[in-house]
Structure 1
Amino acid sequence: MNLDWTRHLVVVPVLLPLLCGAVLAPLTQGRHRLKFGLAYASVLGLLANALALVALTDGGWPGGIGVYFAANWAAPFGIALVADRLSAAMLVLAAVLALAALHYAQPRWSRIGVHFHSLFQFLLMGINGAFLTHDLFNLFVFFEVMLAASYGLVLHGYNVARLRASMQYIAVNLAAALLFLVGVALIYATTGTLNMADLAGRIATLPADNLVLLKVGVCVLALAFLAKSAMWPLGFWLPTTYAAASPPVAAMLVLMTKVGAYVILRIWLLVFPDSAGEAAHFGYQALMWGGMATIVFGAAGMLATDTAGRMAGYAAIVSSGTLLAVIGYGQQSLVTAGLYYFIASTIAIAAFVLLIELIDRIRTPGAAMLALTMEAYAVEDTPAEPKGRGVPAAMAFLSLAFAACALMIAGLPPLSGFVAKFGLFHALLNPGPGVPAIAGAGWTLMALVFTSGLIAIVSLMRFGVRTFWAADAVAPPRLHTAEVLPVAALLLVSVLLTIHAQPVFGYLARASGDIHRPALYIERVLGTPPVPGPTHAPEAP
């Protein structure tokens, strides 16, 4: 049996940025066009590969799952990379955000550091690997690759605020990495495996003593993921980091925050389904109520701050809290709507953090003098203003783009944020046959999602009025085309998500159905044989 060549596409999202980052690392300062061209070509390749995986998982592969053994060792002993509808959709989202962030960084931010592009590629390698891996230890490896690259990127274009935020960010993530290792060790000591499919197959037969130790290990592991997902009270670091990071890095941090929620979704639905015996639905209530508390914390933070960067951070916390509550609620149709919300909210917040820097260029003379004074007494490494032709009607673009971002984040019509929240409400009110009707927890979640949207629109419109209308004198900003296009492209993607909501929901419904059937993953991962070596005919004497 030979390996179908299409299975090699599963490993491309890991290998391509790894090779590109290695090629870019030795390039010295000054070769900006060459480095940008190589990095951009790599991300375009990742997008094309991700779209191919979407097509293959949605009808090209048996069961919609492609399994790749990196060293040709069969599961559970080998390193298994698994592509399904959900991971393929996440790869597309990562490639779209990476294209926008990289394009935005080209005229300014990528030019002030030697290794911006190589770190960016290694970050993509870690993110893509986390979406594809089916082994907990390799998940730890990809997480550390992702985080190690993000440490350098958060410090990119350093200043005092960025240095302080990065130290806090690094300390929190190092503590989370330690918890990750402890949790993985406890799970392996209890079950003898770290392969997710193998773990899901063994959990129902574990003795009671081992099951208690397994639950302890899973709880420790969950703390690491929930810290990365900014669940309350573990998300205190996120608003400061978002506000301090450079715009293209902050856009990627929006996705990195969601990677933790993705892993929680993947592990909990695979390992603790209805068929898990005494461990069935373990931790679901904690995820649901913890997610709701996170929504409250994020909404209160948005209402209390008047800084756009911190506002974006609190909006990301609200988004993460909503996803965690959806996972904990444990309803398949709600997970479908939650996945659409995952994509829509990530795009909206990423567009907003890119837009913030452009809006900050609207300065009054007094504000400009204050900024000049601050730069004279602080350590700064700020990129020069971009050269090139300015964008006509800059004020009109900024105001319209800000209004679109506000509508998406708040979940108001007519863009994808409204479709996402409408989908959540519809799933809660119409659970389907055989599913209990909405109870107190469901009504509470609906109320929090609705209230957080109202708070978001109040906070964002307050910021918009102060910025665009209430200023004494507004100087027309100079915008570079390379900075405007990524924001406009992300807003266009949101419009397309709205127009094509029906096929997107259909695809995500199939993805949700897959992850709610753990037996399918167990069969595909553990039942896929390694590729046999070449056979040679015996030589004639």
Structure 2
Amino acid sequence: MSLHWTQHLILVPVILPLLAGAALVPLTQGWHRLKFWLSYASILGLVANALALIHMTDGGAWQDGMGIYLAANWSAPFGIALLADRLSSIMLLLTALLGLASLHFSKQRWGRIGVHFHALFQFLLMGINGAFLTHDLFNLFVFFEVMLAASYGLVLHGYNAERIRASMQYIAINLAAALLFLLGLALIYATTGTLNMADVAGRVPLLAGDDLALFKIGATMMALTFLTKSAMWPLGFWLPTTYAAASPPVAAMLVLMTKVGAYVVLRLWLLIFSDDAGAAAGFGQDALLYGGMATIVFGAAGMLSTDTAGRMAGYAAIISSGTLLAVIGYGQPNLVTAGIYYLIGSTLAVAAFLLLIELIDRIRTPRSAMLALTMEAYAVEDAPVEPVGRGVPAVMAFLSLAFAACALMIAGLPPLPGFIAKFGMFHAVLHPQVVATAANGVMTGPTTIPTAGWVLIALIVLSGLIAVISMMRFGVRTFWASGVLVPPKLHRTEVMPIIFLLGLAIGMTIQANALFGYLARASDAIHRPATYIGRVLSEPTLPGPASSPAPTINLTPEAP
């Protein structure tokens, strides 16, 4: 028996950026071109690897659509297990594609500032990928710290006074969250005796009394870390300032980092606090539901109150995080399917908008911004003039059309993925799903729409309307009320990543049926914790090499 080569693909998303980052560290300031292409080749490898993992998990190559890699050949729960399934594979692909767009955008400007941008970028990808793949809580903490340590340097990249202030706040908040993570891990290990996720889920039903209370406290402290990263209200006050201050390619990756927190909450809560968890079943779901709703309200209010594009994008990310957390807390499998689709679409939309902001700012001079505000405040009307036959410059056409596409996706208007995702969520809430529990086969589930469902629908609709108002206000001030605009100079490496992200969104719209089918299978798998636990804990180790028989020594003296 030997390890099939395809199982090594599970390790590639961690090893490849680690090796690439280590190779980039010694390269000095003058090796810009070499550093860029090494980093670019690494991310192309990650894209190919993620596509291969999607094929392996959804093509029947691995049992139950799960590939497991036992590090150092130690069986679970004693060793560190990496697990690739449909959900983690699609998240790896999203990471690689967004990393590809961000890196390409940074080629002409941001990648040339500072020595270690590309190395830090690779270490950031390593941490994000590891968080998606790991099946061990302490290893999750390690990957979180790798991700955060790299992000500290990247947020400071191209530093100025505003960026330094925002990064100090960002670092302080995340260090405090890391301390809570460690304390939570200590309590979980003290009560269960393990940190393997499947093993923890298997032991939770056996806890009672003080042990169960301590376990819930530990889980709550650990959850605070993920909810801080997910920008749940009131823990997400740091996010708009950080997004507005960070360089565009880094801000685009921060959008994905916010979704890492929501991914971990989705993974852990459906595994550990499932219906099979005994007295701990459903723990924290109401907090996620109502906390997510409060986050939507906070993000919508913030988006309506700001006229800064970077902060507007930050509040849009908060709205999307709140929606995801509320979807997880609502506890309905088909709603989770639409929520994951929404996660992917909203990440692409906000990331594209953050990249676009830098290009739009080149036409928003202080004078034009002040003129736009003055005309709006005093209701100044432009006198109509005769057209002179001059067409819209191509640059301005690209900026306006790209902005319109981003606005449609963020607001959730047809025909782009934001609308499809929200329609899917509305359909799921209005058609409650009845499911069978694994324990006794009894059909359970809501038969009527609870009040929380109507409130969630209303908040999603209201947040979309507010996003429309905010984005239209920004667009009018930028493209219509700023006087005579001089088309800025744009480089192809800055334009192509935005077109690429918007093209992915269009592809999501065209292939919505196929993608929803894949995500439905992913959602169904993570809602079957018993299969998940059994698959991880039963994964066999590789036998050692067969020992050869010891040589025999004849001690009988030979006859003369």
1:533 to 2:534 alignment? no
1:482 to 2:493 alignment? yes
Q: 1: CA distance between counterparts of 2:254 and 2:214? A: 33
> Which residue pairs with 1:356 in the alignment?
357
> Which residue pairs with 2:33 in the alignment?
33
Q: Which amino acid aligns with 1:332?
A: P
Q: 2: CA distance between counterparts of 1:228 and 1:416? A: 24
1:302-327 Cα offsets, whole Å, 9 max, x none, are: 00000000000000000000000000
How does 1:30-109 map onto structure 2 within 5 Å? 30-58=30-58, 59-109=60-110
After alignment, is 250-259 or 361-370 more displaced? 361-370
Q: 2: CA distance between counterparts of 1:353 and 1:5? A: 39
> Which residue pairs with 1:283 in the alignment?
284
1:471-528 Cα offsets, whole Å, 9 max, x none, are: 1221111100000000000000000000000010000000000000011111111000
> Which residue pairs with 1:5 in the alignment?
5
> Which residue pairs with 1:251 in the alignment?
252
Contact 1:292 1:325 in 2 (8 A): yes
Q: 2: CA distance between counterparts of 1:13 and 1:170? A: 26
Report the identity percentage. 73
Q: 2: CA distance between counterparts of 1:70 and 1:149? A: 24
Contact 1:73 1:79 in 2 (8 A): yes
Contact 2:368 2:482 in 1 (8 A): no
Q: 1: CA distance between counterparts of 2:342 and 2:153? A: 30
Q: 2: CA distance between counterparts of 1:363 and 1:219? A: 45
> Which residue pairs with 1:209 in the alignment?
210
Offset at 1:536?
3.9
Aligned to 1:81, the other structure's residue is in SS state strand
> Which residue pairs with 2:301 in the alignment?
300
Aligned to 2:276, the other structure's residue is in SS state helix
Q: Which amino acid aligns with 1:9?
A: L
Q: 2: CA distance between counterparts of 1:415 and 1:81? A: 34
Which runs of 5 or more structure 1 residues have no equivalent in the other structure?
371-390
1:213-254 Cα offsets, whole Å, 9 max, x none, are: 100100111111111110000000000000000000000000
After alignment, is 203-212 or 155-164 more displaced? 203-212
1:47-92 Cα offsets, whole Å, 9 max, x none, are: 1000100010112101100110111110001011000000001000
Q: Which amino acid aligns with 1:144?
A: E
> Which residue pairs with 1:460 in the alignment?
471
Offset at 1:365?
7.7
How does 1:210-289 map onto structure 2 within 5 Å? 210-289=211-290
State which structure, 1 or 2, has the greater radius of gyration over its C-alpha atoms.
2
Q: Between Structure 1 and Structure 2, how many residues are aligned?
A: 521
How does 1:393-404 map onto structure 2 within 5 Å? 393-404=394-405
Aligned to 1:275, the other structure's residue is in SS state coil
1:502 to 2:506 alignment? no
After alignment, is 519-528 or 140-149 more displaced? 519-528
Contact 2:302 2:315 in 1 (8 A): yes
RMSD: 1.4
Contact 1:364 1:474 in 2 (8 A): no
Q: Which amino acid aligns with 1:22?
A: A
Q: Where in structure 1 do 4 or more consecutive aligned residues deviate above 6 Å?
A: none
> Which residue pairs with 2:185 in the alignment?
184
1:20 to 2:31 alignment? no
Contact 2:332 2:433 in 1 (8 A): no
Offset at 1:392?
6.9
Q: 2: CA distance between counterparts of 1:267 and 1:45? A: 29
Q: 2: CA distance between counterparts of 1:273 and 1:240? A: 36
Return closer, same or farther for 1:481/1:71 CA change in 2, 3 Å cut-off. same
Q: 2: CA distance between counterparts of 1:432 and 1:177? A: 37
Aligned to 1:71, the other structure's residue is in SS state helix
Return closer, same or farther for 1:502/1:368 CA change in 2, 3 Å cut-off. closer
1:110 to 2:120 alignment? no
Which residue, out of 430, 438, 445, partners 1:435?
445
Return closer, same or farther for 1:26/1:367 CA change in 2, 3 Å cut-off. farther
> Which residue pairs with 2:312 in the alignment?
311
Contact 1:364 1:473 in 2 (8 A): no
Higher relative contact order (CA 8 A, sep 6+): 1
How does 1:79-158 map onto structure 2 within 5 Å? 79-158=80-159
Which residue, out of 503, 513, 527, partners 1:492?
503
Aligned to 2:73, the other structure's residue is in SS state coil
Q: 1: CA distance between counterparts of 2:531 and 2:548? A: 38
Q: 1: CA distance between counterparts of 2:341 and 2:149? A: 29
Q: Which amino acid aligns with 1:323?
A: L
> Which residue pairs with 2:378 in the alignment?
none
Q: Which amino acid aligns with 1:129?
A: G
Q: 1: CA distance between counterparts of 2:186 and 2:101? A: 38
Q: 1: CA distance between counterparts of 2:550 and 2:201? A: 47
1:190-217 Cα offsets, whole Å, 9 max, x none, are: 1001000000101111122200110010
**What is the TM-score with the length of structure 1 in the denominator?**
0.95
Q: 2: CA distance between counterparts of 1:392 and 1:118? A: 38
1:95-141 Cα offsets, whole Å, 9 max, x none, are: 01000000000011000110000000000000000000001100000
